[in-house]
């Protein structure tokens, strides 16, 4: 970056992990010893990772630390809109991607409050997160300078980063043996790197300490457990009959579903920057909520709306994955989704057993399902002879084409 001498105050996205632990030292080395670094850590439900973060930040040399509780905002303003849209990216429930605009938004707010000259993040030049952070910053503070050390420094790998930390006597919470790249919030936990970089390797689900939000299906109880999720206008509002706020509901459901080995997803995905990447995701409560929401929609939405919504869900997922949350298109799709969700209220009962989610009943005051019409028994509401005329008209283009081809053959 040019004009480094003009940068006197930097707001740093700070997690206390490997990258951000060394970045403060690197910033001082490259932007001047007197450069003020203000660290901002978003509390997204990764409770254990935040333990001792004040002391780590102090040792790292930051002048001020903000620990911002963003859990309620993340759930209500980002996760639940995503859930209502049914957005999945190649099967991935977007746990990391959906959290980035929330954190980046707060970075911008604090940078403007503090009169900072730049915002710094620790995302690599190979990953998606650099795009997610920077597009949000561009949308909310288009004149703000951005510093991305991974695109500037000589450090080329996580081993190099550990070497740098050891050379500068920076204490880390990881070792080379436990050096998975992880991202955690109340919605999910991701695992990348090390043995997972080879898709031929089976993830070590049963190895102690690998899974953190639950257990493998093999280690799950031999007895199933039922859960009931209630929705209002597409938003989950109660679990097993108990009204709960969104944060509490997700955390409680994480515990229940994780115990039964639900929500483990191993995928080779297509990154925004062009390469394929292998990751393992734990999303126990989120997987149950997506399943329950889909079941409820199946009785509350008409066919055409349901099918059109499925098309838009893919686009919505791509917008999240590609860092385009703050765009007119996302807002427009939200308007469509919110209209579709007006009738998506009711209860869904599910059975959790060894990694499986099994439907166990669904009800809604807005259900479009009619037992009278769907029944195989005798009824007075459906005249089966009507089907003959319908099929003749519906199949007329097929029949006309076949007749034309038959005439051609007969004329030869």
CA–CA separation, 219 vs 9, rounded Å?
Answer: 50
Crossing angle of helices 303-321 and 95-114, rounded to 10°: 50
List 15, 19, 21, 190, catalytic entry: 19
Contact 231, 292 (CB under 8 A): yes
Choosing from 41, 181, 190, 364, which is the catalytic residue?
A: 181
At 279, list the tokens. Answer: 């990751």
Residue tagged active-site, from 21, 41, 102, 129: 129
- Tokens representing 132 are 């997610």
Token couple for 255: 């515990």
Minimal CA–CA distance to 284: which of 225, 233, 212? Answer: 212
Residue 7 to residue 65: CA distance in whole angstroms: 19
Q: Which of these is catalytic: 21, 41, 100, 278?
A: 100
Alpha-carbon dihedral 373, 379, 385, 388, rounded to 10 degrees: 20
Classify 9 as helix, strand or coil: strand
Q: Is 19 a catalytic residue?
A: yes
In angstroms, how far is the first alpha carbon of the chain from the final one?
Answer: 76
CA dist 54 and 66 (Å) reads 9
Is residue 100 part of the annotated active site? The answer reads yes
**181 counts as catalytic:** yes
Q: Which residues are catalytic?
A: 19, 100, 129, 181
């Amino acid at each position: 970056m040019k004009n480094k001498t003009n940068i006197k105050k930097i707001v740093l996205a700070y997690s206390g992990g490997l990258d951000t632990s060394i970045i403060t030292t690197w910033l001082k080395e490259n932007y001047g010893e007197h450069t003020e670094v203000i660290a901002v850590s978003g509390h997204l439900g990764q409770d254990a990772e935040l333990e001792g973060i004040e002391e780590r930040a102090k040792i790292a040399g930051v002048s001020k630390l903000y620990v911002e509780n963003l859990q309620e905002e993340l759930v209500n303003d980002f996760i639940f809109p995503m859930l209502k849209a049914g957005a999945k990216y190649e099967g991935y429930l977007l746990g990391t991607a959906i959290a980035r605009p929330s954190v980046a938004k707060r970075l911008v707010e604090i940078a403007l409050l503090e009169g900072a000259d730049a915002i710094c993040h620790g995302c690599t030049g190979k990953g998606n997160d650099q795009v997610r952070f920077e597009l949000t910053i561009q949308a909310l503070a288009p004149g703000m300078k951005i510093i991305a050390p991974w695109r500037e420094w000589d450090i080329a790998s996580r081993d190099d980063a550990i070497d740098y930390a050891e050379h500068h006597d920076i204490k880390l919470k990881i070792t080379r043996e436990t050096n998975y790249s992880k991202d955690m919030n109340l919605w999910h936990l991701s695992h990348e790197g090390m043995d997972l970089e080879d898709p031929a390797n089976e993830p070590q689900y049963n190895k102690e300490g690998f899974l953190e939000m639950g257990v493998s299906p093999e280690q799950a109880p031999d007895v199933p457990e039922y859960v009931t999720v209630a929705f209002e206008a597409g938003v989950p509002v109660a679990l097993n009959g108990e009204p709960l706020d969104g944060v509490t509901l997700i955390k409680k459901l994480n515990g229940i579903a994780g115990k039964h080995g639900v929500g483990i997803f191993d995928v080779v995905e297509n990154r925004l920057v062009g390469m394929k990447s292998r990751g393992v995701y734990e999303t126990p409560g989120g997987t149950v909520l997506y399943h329950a929401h889909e079941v409820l929609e199946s009785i509350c939405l008409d066919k055409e709306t349901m099918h059109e919504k499925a098309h838009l869900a893919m686009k919505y997922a791509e917008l999240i994955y590609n860092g385009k949350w703050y765009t007119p298109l996302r807002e427009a799709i939200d308007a469509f989704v919110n209209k579709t969700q007006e009738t998506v209220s009711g209860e869904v009962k599910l059975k959790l057993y060894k990694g499986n989610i099994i439907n166990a009943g669904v009800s809604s005051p807005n259900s479009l399902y009619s037992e009278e019409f769907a029944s195989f028994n005798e009824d007075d509401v459906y005249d089966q002879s009507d089907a003959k005329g319908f099929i003749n008209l519906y199949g007329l283009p097929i029949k006309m084409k076949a007749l034309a081809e038959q005439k051609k053959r007969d004329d030869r």
